[in-house]
């Protein structure tokens, strides 16, 4: 397969498909970096619904990927083998290791990564992008990750891996992702990974070495601008009281106060998915004792849950936390539960709303989440932060010879 002429490639918008797509965080960021989303596969109905609402020009397929004929999808999209620019996704990888504890035809995790490879073979894209958790690096002593990289190389790709820290790319939360990239026609694989654009405090509490080298991408300069804080991210959103619902579309509290807010609000007429879950009376009593940046250790002993009354003061340091407005948020999980981390608002006596969680994940305000509030939190927490995805998309687009757009820029 001949390498595309870079001048020709730059004149068209690069194409992508997204497998195991979730609600669309990865696709959202990749589109912001210039890619055109053609197809997404997501088996969970509510996630697929959200994806389709926000990406109306994408063919969203809710079938089990094992039942999907990749060749028919390619033909439906009008693509020849080798014409697709990027195949992306977050396939389950843990069953793929040769040392996995269960290796059989019944190991669905193994099959799902093989389904991803089946699409790689059918589309033979210029680039492949796989995202996963940092724990993938140490799983089964690294043999799973080694098997994935080996598989991509056997399928015709130069492949490598990095662990990226989301705050280095403008995301206001402590979130790490393992990123695997494969390139079909380039040996410059190192250039396919984005360079950090922000400084941010960090703590590495996972295996950061693979094949004898450190794979965590760190800033190369001490002169980078500082990270985006929680206050930078959400301070323009409407104030709410505990349990306040209100209308679906709410007006902003103030005009945009910084570049991050301006970008998040682009094209938005108001604030969606912004209702406050009702905290119990006891949690409200606990909350009034917690200062910004504080946690469960600030709560009077008699108000603590029974289990936490037996905890050491050094344990659970993020539980019942009120986020520091000038710092980074805890990793946004599938619900903003005070038992899980610092999910209390810094100056309002309530937990983060879905929209605040989405802002911290860097979803634009025009992105609407379908379903119940519980389902919305799950979709947000399971997503790839679009700003991180956009940074990866720009670096891949550049190495493929395309002109990346700058919709979600320098924050």
* HEC readout, 241-305: CCCCCCCCCECCCCCCCCHHHHHHCCCCCCECCCCCCCCCHHHHHHHCCCCCCCCHHHCCHHHCC
Backbone angles phi, psi at 163, to 5 degrees: -105, 120
- Identify which of 228, 255, 256, 253 has the alpha carbon closest to the alpha carbon of residue 353: 253
Q: What share of the chain is helix, strand, coil (3-state, %, to 5)?
A: 35, 15, 55
* Residues tagged active-site: 93
Q: Residue 141, Cβ neighbours under 10 Å: how many? A: 11
- Identify which of 253, 244, 306 has the alpha carbon closest to the alpha carbon of residue 277: 244
- Identify which of 86, 21, 7 has the alpha carbon closest to the alpha carbon of residue 397: 86
- Angle, in degrees to the nearest 10, between helices 108-123 and 143-154: 30
Scanning the structure block, which residue is given the tokens 């979709």? 379
Q: 101 is written with which tokens?
A: 């504890």
In angstroms, rounded to a whole number, what is the distance separating the alpha carbons of residues 373 and 354? Answer: 7
């Amino acid at each position: 397969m001949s390498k595309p002429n870079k001048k020709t490639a730059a004149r068209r918008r690069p194409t992508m498909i997204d497998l195991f797509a979730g609600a669309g965080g990865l696709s959202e960021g990749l589109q912001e970096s210039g890619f055109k989303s053609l197809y997404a596969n997501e088996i969970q109905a509510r996630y697929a619904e959200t994806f389709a609402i926000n990406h109306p020009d994408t063919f969203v397929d809710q079938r089990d990927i094992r039942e999907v004929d990749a060749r028919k999808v390619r033909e439906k999209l009008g693509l020849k083998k080798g014409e697709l620019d990027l195949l992306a996704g977050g396939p389950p990888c843990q069953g793929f290791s040769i040392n996995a504890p269960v290796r059989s035809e019944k190991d669905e995790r193994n099959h799902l990564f093989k389904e991803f490879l089946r699409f790689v073979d059918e589309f033979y894209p210029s680039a492949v992008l796989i995202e996963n958790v940092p724990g993938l690096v140490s799983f089964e002593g690294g043999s799973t990750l080694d098997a994935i990289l080996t598989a991509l190389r056997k399928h015709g790709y130069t492949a490598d891996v990095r662990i990226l820290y989301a705050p280095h790319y403008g995301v206001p939360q402590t979130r790490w992702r393992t990123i695997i990239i494969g390139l079909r026609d380039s040996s410059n694989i190192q250039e396919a990974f984005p360079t950090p654009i922000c400084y941010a405090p960090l703590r590495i509490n996972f295996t950061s070495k693979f094949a004898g080298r450190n794979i965590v991408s760190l800033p190369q300069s001490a002169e980078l601008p500082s990270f985006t804080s929680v206050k930078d991210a959400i301070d323009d959103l409407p104030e709410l009281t505990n349990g306040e619902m209100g209308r679906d579309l709410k007006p902003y509290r103030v005009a945009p106060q910084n570049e991050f807010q301006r970008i998040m609000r682009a094209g938005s007429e108001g604030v969606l998915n912004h209702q406050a879950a009702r905290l119990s009376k006891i949690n409200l009593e606990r909350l009034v004792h917690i200062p910004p940046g504080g946690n469960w250790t600030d709560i009077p002993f008699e108000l603590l849950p029974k289990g936490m009354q037996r905890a050491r003061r050094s344990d659970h340091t993020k539980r019942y936390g009120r986020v520091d407005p000038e710092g980074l948020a805890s990793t946004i999980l599938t619900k903003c539960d005070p038992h899980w981390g610092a999910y209390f608002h810094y100056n309002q006596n309530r937990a983060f709303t879905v929209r605040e969680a989405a802002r911290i994940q860097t979803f634009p305000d025009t992105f609407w989440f379908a379903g119940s509030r519980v389902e919305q939190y799950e979709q947000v927490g399971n997503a790839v932060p679009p700003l991180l995805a956009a940074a990866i998309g720009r670096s891949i687009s550049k190495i493929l010879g395309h002109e990346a757009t700058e919709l979600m820029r320098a924050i």
